[in-house]
Amino acid sequence: MTLYTMREAQALLGIPRSVAARLIADGVVTPSRGARREYLFTFQDMVMLRTANSLREARIPSRRISRALSRLKATRGQGVPLTGVRVRAIGNEVATRDGVRQWQAESGQMLMDFEPDEAGAAVVHTMHQAPATKASAWFHAACELEAEAPGQAEQAYRRALSLDGGYLEPYLNLGCMLCDAGHFGEAVALYRCGLAHLPNEPLMHFNLAVALEDDGLQAEALASYAHCIELAPGFADAHFNAARLYESLGDDMRAIRHFNAYRKLQPG
């Protein structure tokens, strides 16, 4: 079975790290772990990621995407693929079609029929798309530049943030870029700036914790993991990382507690 890393998913799908990270945090996508703890996505994971990214491009709010895809995944059953399912944006709503049935993805309410469409798997159509803001335009430009021109991508992410200091995704993507380049202190400063605007965003606390951990600041990293878990008790990776850190520090009691929480949150 072919497995894809996070970088491969980004390259193949054009999906920002922040979108994939939210889907993982919400349990919509449950990748396995490689030898170095990297995420490994199956083909079905890639289908879900592609669908989510298309909805994001249709300006559907990220939390609504997670809720809709979580419900869709639950109704399809464990391991059942999305082949034959249509997922589309209608205004700010996510709607799905399976055979002759149409329904609103979050509530499960039935909808009037869509217009005819060709066959395909998890295809997303934009029925209505709000104009992109200047900040989002800079963000999308940065995503496209990231692989080939990281310096220009960094400038574009920073430009997006200068226009909208409460824009989550540029913080997450730029912070990951800085960490990948070994600039952990810069990433920490960036995430802390982001938290001044978005203090209740679990992903920001989680990414800050990872950057602090990479910078050797274990106590501060544990505090950030704790903030993340306080805001999102079901954030499995925060429990896993906290458990691993406590274990390395010899605090077996806290390590076991977080490992147990992590295991309970795993599917199956």
**Short-list 59, 66, 190, CA closest to 137:** 59
Q: Which of 167, 163, 214 is nearest to 186 (CA)?
A: 214
CB 52 within 8 A of CB 19: yes
Confidence of residue 87 (pLDDT cuts 50, 70, 90): low
* pLDDT for res 67: 73
Q: Under 8 Å CB-to-CB from 261, ≥6 apart: which residues?
A: 236, 239, 243
Which pLDDT value is given to residue 212? 93
pTM above 0.95, yes or no: no
Coil, strand or helix at 240: helix
Segment 164-171 shows an average pLDDT of 90
Q: What are the structural domains of the chain?
A: 6-80 (1.10.1660.10), 134-265 (1.25.40.10)
Compute the distance between CA of residue 189 and CA of residue 142 in angstroms, rounded to an integer: 20
- DSSP for residue 233: T
pLDDT classification of 124: cutoffs 50, 70, 90: very low
Q: Provide the pLDDT confidence category of residue 33 given band limits of 50, 70 and 90.
A: confident
**Interacting residues of 196 by C-beta distance below 8 A, sequence separation 6+:** none
Confidence label for 126 from pLDDT (cuts 50, 70 and 90): very low
Half-sphere exposure (Cβ direction) of 186: Cα atoms closer than 13 Å? 12
Q: What is the mean pLDDT of residues 48-58?
A: 78
Q: Residues near 263 by Cβ (< 8 Å), separated by ≥ 6?
A: none
Q: Please tell me the total number of residues recorded for the chain in this structure.
A: 268
pLDDT at 34: 83
Q: Write the pLDDT tens digit of every residue in 191-250.
A: 999 999 999 998 899 999 999 998 999 999 999 999 999 998 988 888 988 998 999 899
Out of 135-139, 145-149, 188-192, least confident range: 145-149
